[in-house]
Amino acid sequence: MGSLATVNELLAGSVGGAAQVLVGQPLDTVKTRAQIAPKGMFKGPMDIIMQTVRKEGFFALYKGMASPLLGIAGVNSLLFASYAAARRAVSPFGQLTLPQTALAGSMAGAANAILASPVEMFKVRMQGQYGEAGDKRLRAIASEMWKDWGFRRGVMRGYWVTVAREIPAYAGFYTAYEFSKRKFAAHYGERPLPVWALLASGSTGGIAYWLACYPLDVIKSRVQLRAVPPTGTPVQYIAAETRAILAEAGWKGLFKGLSPSLLRSIPAAASTFAAFELTREWLAGVTGV
């Protein structure tokens, strides 16, 4: 029965992940370009949208979508299955407290980084192309990174900063998500919760996700886009990238692209967890688990 429940979590996670990518990719492109674009290239998020659409066409906002869409089944399946396992490891006695939820979320985030790191790396490198003649397709970028730098320094570039990002991000996400769900459940006493309550809870969690980790996301994107891999230990190269950002743009540089990230998180996280919860409920009805 436990293995079948895990399969349900994996399948529901895949559906939720696909919903997240399809809904959130345009603003994710805006967010990434705000983080990595040369100084002075864009005036702000709206200028990024206008220049991107004007120079590259509307579908350029979906640039880099192939990597997360192809990898999202694995990434979100791993995330949701890891969170379910972490919940059982933290406490086998039913509902977790919010601190226990934060711990389980951080454990799931650390596990999720295994697959999230290469998916993010390829996505960032696709989004870092601005419609020039020499722009490369995903297959060419993947082949180049593997050929030039290998698995650890190429495909998995930025792994440790991704781990550092995912731990507080998912601690914040799951805590806010569960808090919101419990407030709705206490007020309305409904099981299952209505779709709008799931959407609202997912949005709250998505906002908490970015507020908990955003500077680390900026650092991650820049590390993954650089022409050469970082040197030194993870602590050293994260510190070096932080100093470079501060020298270029001050503290504001660590929060470039935050507004489109927060705007993206509302529909993206809402659709992710509504799709996940509804799919899991449907599968539970079909399988009896």
Encoded amino acid at 103, one letter:
L
pLDDT of residue 108: 96
Neighbours of 288 (CB within 10 A): 8
pLDDT in tens, 191-242: 677 888 888 888 999 999 999 999 999 999 999 999 999 999 999 999 999 9
At residue 69, does pLDDT exceed 60? yes
Q: What is the mean pLDDT of residues 149-175?
A: 96
Instruction: State the pTM of this model.
Output: 0.86
Q: Give Cα separations from 7 to 103, 229, 233 (angstroms).
A: 23, 37, 37
Which residue, among 20, 71, 269, 21, has the nearest Cα to 169 in the 3D structure? 269
Across 8-17, 37-46, 132-141, 165-174, least confident range: 8-17
Task: Please tell me whether residue 133 adopts helix, strand or coil conformation.
Answer: coil
pLDDT in tens, 83-120: 988 999 999 887 899 999 999 999 999 999 999 999 99
Q: What is the mean pLDDT of residues 169-186?
A: 93
Domain that holds residue 229: 2-287
Please state the separation of Cα 67 from the chain's center in Å.
12
Which CATH number belongs to the domain containing residue 166 in this structure?
Answer: 1.50.40.10
pLDDT of residue 57: 93
Number of alpha helices (DSSP H) and beta strands (DSSP E) in the chain:
9, 0
Please count the structural domains in the chain.
Answer: 1
